[in-house]
């Protein structure tokens, strides 16, 4: 597949993964509100450096798994069950709870950059998420595990993460009181996203039978 298409594919997949309010995007938004957008941007840049490395590691892991089809089949079935359970939890079980306030203290731009790297490093969700999505893309024949396609996809994922953090930075003040950012509605959004992923996984499993 064209590397430009892979870039935008990585961008979209990363965007979806960062849409729900979480520690990284909420911290970026609040740093910007309290200390100015420049520090929010520096924090986001630090996050994206780690995301680049995490996505690259995920792609390498996916390449290894691609040579062990039996392992992939097992992981696909496990992933399907996990995504179904997550979907059920967020759509039917999860209750609305107030999100803890993040109160970043005033720091320099450089310290915000390293803070972004640190918080992103302890957030390991992108690795299994990107590994699974990369395997799925490759299974449809949309990606080859070679250096150029991988770098293009990884760059797209990093850019997608930055775009969503950028969105939170500049629009959080306008959307923070809107209904769609309530915990209850965000549960529905997360549940819908994981439900779609579960559906794609099921289709992929059935195609391989």
- Condensed to tens digits (0 to 9), the pLDDT of residues 170-198 reads 776 665 555 544 556 656 766 676 677 77
Q: What is the per-residue pLDDT for 143?
A: 84
C-alpha to C-alpha distance for 66 and 127, rounded to whole angstroms: 16
Q: What is the per-residue pLDDT for 159?
A: 94
| Percentage of residues of the chain with pLDDT beyond 70 | 72
The answer to whether 111 and 41 are in contact (CB under 8 A) is no
C-alpha to C-alpha distance for 120 and 23, rounded to whole angstroms: 9
Local confidence band at 72 (pLDDT 50, 70, 90 cut-offs): low
Q: What is the per-residue pLDDT for 7?
A: 92
The Cα angle at residue 119 between residues 127 and 185, in degrees rounded to 5: 75
pTM given for the model: 0.67
Helix (H) or strand (E) holding 7: helix 3-18
The answer to whether 134 and 17 are in contact (CB under 8 A) is no
43-47, 60-64, 122-126: which is most confident:
43-47
The answer to whether 155 and 52 are in contact (CB under 8 A) is yes
Q: What is the per-residue pLDDT for 196?
A: 77
By CB atoms closer than 10 A (0-12, 13-18, 19+), residue 209 is exposed
């Amino acid at each position: 597949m064209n590397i430009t298409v892979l870039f935008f594919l990585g961008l979209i997949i990363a965007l979806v993964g960062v849409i729900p309010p979480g520690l990284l995007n909420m911290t970026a938004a609040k740093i910007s509100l309290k200390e100015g957008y420049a520090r929010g941007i520096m924090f986001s840049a630090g996050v994206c450096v780690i995301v680049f490395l995490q996505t690259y590691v995920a792609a390498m892991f996916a390449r290894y798994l691609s040579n062990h089809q039996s392992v992939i089949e097992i992981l696909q079935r496990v992933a399907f069950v996990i995504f179904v359970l997550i979907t059920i939890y967020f759509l039917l079980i999860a209750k609305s709870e107030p999100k803890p306030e993040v109160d970043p203290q005033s720091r320099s731009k450089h310290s915000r950059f390293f803070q972004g790297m640190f918080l992103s490093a302890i957030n390991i969700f992108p690795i299994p998420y990107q590994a699974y999505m990369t395997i799925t893309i490759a299974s449809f024949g949309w990606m080859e595990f070679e250096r150029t396609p991988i770098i293009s996809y990884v760059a797209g994922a990093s850019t997608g993460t930055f775009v969503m953090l950028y969105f939170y930075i500049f629009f959080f003040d306008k959307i923070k009181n809107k209904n769609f950012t309530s915990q209850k509605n965000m549960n529905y959004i997360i549940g819908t996203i994981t439900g779609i992923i579960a559906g794609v996984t099921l289709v992929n499993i059935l195609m391989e039978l």
